[in-house]
A and B are shown apart, each in its own frame.
Chain A
Amino acid sequence: MTTRRTFLKVLSGGLGLAAVGLPSRQSLADVAKASETEFFVFIIAAGGWDVTLWADPRNEAKGIVHPASTTNTDTSQLRRWVDAPLVDGEKSFQLVRPAGSNLVFGPGIGDLADMPDRLTVINGLAMNTVAHPDGQLFSTTGRHPQGGRVAASSIDTMLSNELGRDQLLPTVSVRFPSAYVGADLDRRVVPLAIDDVGSIARTVTRAQQYDANPERDLVTAMLSEEARDLAKRSTYPDVLDGLALQYEGVRHMLDSHLQDVFTTGGLQKAHPELNYTRRFTRGAAVNAAFAVESIKRNLVRCVSFAVGGFDTHGNNYRTQAQLQQETFELVALLVKSLDRTPHPLVQGHKLSEHTHILVVSDFCRTPQVNLALGRDHYPNNSALVVSPRFRSNFVFGKTDLEQLLPAPVKKFADGERAIAPPDLLATFVSAFGVDPRKYMRDGEVVKELLRL
């Protein structure tokens, strides 16, 4: 077993050696070895969230910023909203300042404000796009699409390829923009893209009235053999070899009786601590329960899912803060659930010590309110990391006060500039000993974000 001290020693020994902030290959390999018991949860707030309501709060009318107010926001359900004067009788909100922390949030943060020592906030992410598919791919792959096609693998695929090849379900992706693109990828880690986790159970259910599992296993074994033989005859064997592995994966899947637990009802029963009665995040709560249960059983490496409804151009902006509150409450409940759950492999450890959560969105919303009382797309963004390997109670990156645009934050190898999604993703994968250059064209490791 690798201790935290060993990990940090290995990581600190390697970081900063290369010109663009990449650790040496040897130290990365050592960290990767130390990361074989780690799990990942990736969440995308699909549609583009308003960062002025949580990570980069604005409660004053300054420049083009028109903050959330009692005129454009339904405050009745917001637990952290406390009125603050704005103009002409309008009220904005008081900033949320968690006790004992320098972090400052807007009311959308909800109950997650109670655990600032677990949070790393990244502000002022330069998105360079205001198109949904582009923003989602840039946030999750570090590349803008090329001619409408995905240009690189998403972060869940990268980490599964490095650390999850032998898992039964390397990446389960529920409405998340997971992508499998590039060379040197194992076919086993193609993301299992599904609409809802219940479809796993329904897909692996097998009737017993006609034949039994051993008979189906015989067919599957024969098909695996066929695929391997065809691969031997093929100029390009990797797809067929991959299919052979996937046939074998099906056998393991069926042997694991996944259908007993991975139904919506089964997951709700197994994890009553997650709130399934919320207005916006009922479905996402089931996905979070799936994440806890499948990690507890050591079946997955990455679980990725989306929380939808953030695209609020019109009057539906009134509930954006409530949607954020429910989303971050779900993250808080997920963390608490992981706090209580023992690690399946590391004795005496809790899952939260080895589970790393990244929450991103397409981009943020305009600082000014439009004529329909909503906010449109804006090329700035924020992200949230909950990870023992990241420096917590910490915010990195900034925006300018008047226009909410990303501001230069440090000197990167290519000069002083704002942080961008490729930097965040490169930092994230490097924390687990993965060489970002293996998967990413751009991005620099931001050492300031890592716990060293």
Chain B
Amino acid sequence: MVPPSAPLPLVANGVAAEDTARKENLRMVPPEVYMRTYLQLFGGLLPVDAQKRAKAGDGGSVFDSWDDYVSALGFPDYRFDIPRQTQTNALMVAAFERLGIALCDRALEHDLKGKAPLPVQDRLIFAFDLPKGTVDAKAFGPRFDVLHRTFLGYPAALAPPQRTARFFQLYRDLVSEHAKTSPKSRFTPDEAGWAGVCYGLVRHPEFHLY
């Protein structure tokens, strides 16, 4: 029997630069993968349950039915020999927006606007509390990082350097625009700002391409 021992560090024999550049063009994630991820973000629901939650029956009109979106999302349709779409088009991007808005708006209602505060571990997307008062870059950063990891799968610190600043600017613009143009909205300006950041991530090129 070999007795247990502490692992020894590997011995370096030389240093070589690694070429990390992509060797082929980006591809769209297959529509099935998009759908699965979307449902997972919505709490791991079945499609019909996600539809029910998105529609909510409250006159919000953020979602119709899956049937209305499946062809725009690029799913194959074997009834008509229509193959799976492999490249994005403007209508598909519009469908991503429609579905992304439905997800973010309903998730924000679920996570942050309940009668009683929801424990962070039970939240769908917004696994943080909104800061009191004006949000500055310091307060925005860690919260944005939570969303960035959720949607894009890695810390915001590893993203291109301008990303956090760009999203913070978007947040600020949305807060001021919302106060101006949507006085009757169901969201406060701050909530609209966070919902907008969520839209930006769920529609981000890195979310749809790999």
Contact = CB atoms under 8 A, between A and B. Distances in A.
A354 interface: no
Contacts of B163: 226
Interface in B155-192: 160, 162-163, 166-167, 169-170, 173-174, 177-178, 181-182, 185-187, 192
Nearest to B104: A210
A243 B22 contact: no
B61 A205 contact: yes
Interface string A407-451: 000000000000000000000000000000000000000000000
B90 to A, nearest CB: 4
A212 B98 CA distance: 13
Interface string A187-209: 11011111110111011111111
B35 interface: no
A246 interface: yes
A132 interface: yes
Contacts of B174: 211, 215, 218-219
Nearest to A243: B205
A114 interface: no
B94 A199 contact: no
Contacts of A225: 166
A247 interface: yes
Interface of A is mostly: helix
B150 interface: no
A71 interface: no
A195 B72 CA distance: 8
B205 A230 contact: yes
Contacts of B204: 223, 226
The residue among A193, A233, A253 with the most chain B CB atoms within 10 A of its own CB is A193
B104 to A, nearest CB: 9
**Which of B61, B81, B91, B181 has the largest number of chain A CB atoms within 10 A?**
B91
Contact of A219 (B27, B93, B196): B196
A210 B69 contact: no
Interface stretch (A2-10, A94-102, A234-242, A331-339): A234-242
A194 B204 CA distance: 23
Interface string B91-109: 1111101100100010000
Interface residues of B, number: 62
A215 to B, nearest CB: 5
B147 interface: no
Nearest to A218: B173
A257 interface: no
B93 A202 contact: no
26 contacts: A187-B88, A190-B89, A193-B71, A193-B82, A193-B85, A195-B70, A196-B71, A209-B59, A209-B62, A210-B105, A210-B195, A211-B185, A211-B187, A211-B192, A211-B196, A218-B170, A219-B199, A219-B203, A223-B204, A236-B25, A239-B27, A243-B88, A243-B209, A250-B97, A306-B80, A308-B80
Interface of B: 21-22, 24-27, 59-62, 64, 68-72, 74, 77, 80-82, 85, 87-95, 97-98, 101, 105, 160, 162-163, 166-167, 169-170, 173-174, 177-178, 181-182, 185-187, 192, 195-196, 199-200, 203-206, 208-209
Given A210-B185, A214-B181, A230-B160, 20 more contacts: A168-B90, A175-B77, A192-B90, A193-B74, A194-B71, A198-B68, A207-B61, A210-B192, A211-B178, A211-B185, A214-B177, A215-B177, A215-B181, A222-B166, A223-B200, A223-B205, A230-B206, A239-B26, A246-B89, A249-B90
- Nearest first, the 3 A-B pairs at minimum CB distance are A249-B90, A195-B71, A190-B89
